[in-house]
Amino acid sequence: MWGDAWRRLRKNRVAMLCLALVALFTLMAVYGELVYRYHDFKDITPSYQKTHLDLAFQPPSSKHWMGTDGLGRDVMSRLVQGVTIAYKVGIITSLIAIPIGVFFGCIAGFFGGKVDDFVVWLYSTFASMPGLLFILAIAMVVGKGLLGIYLGIGLTTWVGICRLVRGEVIKHKSQTYVQAAQALGLGSGRIIFKHILPNISHVIIVTFTLRFPAAVGTEVFLSFLGIGVQDQPSWGLMINSARMRLWQGMWWEMTFVTLAVFLLVLAFNLLGDALRDALDPRLND
């Protein structure tokens, strides 16, 4: 099945371009994390944190490809660190939100009745709270920084996945193949997670590829507001600092950071779409 999907995906040029972009971003994220860990381990200030006031606001040149910011730090190396943080936020929040949403969606859709009532009540309660307030509340409890962002975004965004999965499971459980599985004597757990779940995996993959850039966007926004990342070079912080000088013609920091956000979001969205088409054996052959 995966071999077939890969063969179909390879035919799609846009998807391959997006895959290359995602791979590039992933490499940057891994590199950024290694650099960060290295400096953390050696207990020295990394170059992207050192201030050189005499080098402030240098336009892009052969030495600093993306110029320098107001404290003379290289924009490109800070941008790479930004990728690391974006990836961490995207992956960890998805790892929190998707299992919760999928689990509750599956049991609610399959068992119906009281279980369904409880899950619907639960996600309606979560959905009725303004997301930003919820994140702020969590940030107040666990303190500002990445942990608050992980928990805040992760615990609020499972609602959408849960609704989608619940609907899909309800649709699938009335199909004959589920009845056939029951007639074979399979238990409910195995039917839900082994037979129905693979049928709705495209929903989960697409949700992930939409969730990921959305989480990155939320993180950028929160850091921009000052309740997110504190001392690391997050894209939100960079945009915040760049906006002050934009009208004076210091275009490079803003341009490159927003371009990075744009490319990341676009690549993930297009790749998600192509993956869904490739993974669904019924769509083409």
Partner 1 sequence: MIDSKNIIEVKDLRVHFGHGDDRVRAVDGISFSIAHGETLALVGESGSGKSISALSLTKLAPRQATYAGGQILFNNSNMLKLSDRELRKIRGSQISYIFQEPMVSFNPVFTIGWQIEEALKLHRKDLDRKAEIGRLLDLVHLPDRLAAAYPHQMSGGQLQRCMIAMALACSPELLVADEPTTALDVTVQREILNLLKELSEKVGLSTLMITHNLGIVSDLADRVCVMRKGRIVEEGATRQVLDDPQHKYTKHLMAAVPRLKPSAAKKTSPEEIDDEMKRWMPR
Q: Mask of contacts with partner 1, 74-113, x by CB under 8 A? A: --------------------------------------x-
Closest CA to 219 of 93, 101, 103: 93
Q: Does 282 bind partner 1 (CB under 8 A)?
A: yes
Positions 107 through 126 that interact with partner 1 (CB under 8 A): 112
| DSSP annotation string for 46-95 | -TTT---GGGTTPPS-SSSTT-B-TTS-BHHHHHHHHHHHHHHHHHHHHH
- The minimum distance between CB 174 and partner 1, in angstroms, equals 9
Sign of the alpha-carbon dihedral angle for 217, 222, 224, 229:
negative
Binding of residue 9 to partner 1 (CB under 8 A): no
User: Any idea what DSSP says for residue 191?
Assistant: I
Residue 205 within binding range of partner 1, rule CB under 8 A:
no
Q: Between 53 and 184, name the residue whose CB sits nearer to partner 1.
A: 184
DSSP label at 227? S
Question: Which window, 22-30, 54-62, 66-74, 198-206, contacts partner 1 (CB under 8 A)?
Answer: 198-206
Q: Does 1 bind partner 1 (CB under 8 A)?
A: yes
Q: How many residues make contact with partner 1 (CB under 8 A)?
A: 21
The label of the residue with tokens 């490109």 reads 76
Interface with partner 1, residue 231, by CB under 8 A: no
Residues 170-189 that bind partner 1 (CB under 8 A): 175-177, 179-187
Minimum separation from the CB atom of position 162 to partner 1 (A)? 22
Tell the residue number behind the tokens 């940030």, with chain if given. Answer: 139
Chosen residue from 195, 206, 245, 273 binding partner 1 by CB under 8 A: 195
For position 53 contacting partner 1 by CB under 8 A, the verdict is: no
Rounded least distance, CB 187 to partner 1, Å:
6
Residues 6+ apart with CB under 8 A from 242: 69, 250, 253, 254, 257
- Give the gyration radius of the chain's Cα atoms: 22
d(CA 191, CA 177): 10
Minimum CB distance to partner 1, residue 129 (Å): 33
What is the rounded distance in angstroms from the CA atom of residue 238 to the CA atom of residue 66?
13
Q: Tell me if residue 229 falls in helix, strand or coil.
A: coil
User: Maximum CA pair distance of the chain?
Assistant: 77
Q: Which range, of 40-48, 79-87, 96-104, 197-205, touches partner 1 by CB under 8 A?
A: 197-205
Residues forming contacts to partner 1 in the complex (CB under 8 A) are: 1, 112, 175-177, 179-187, 195, 198-199, 201, 281-282, 285
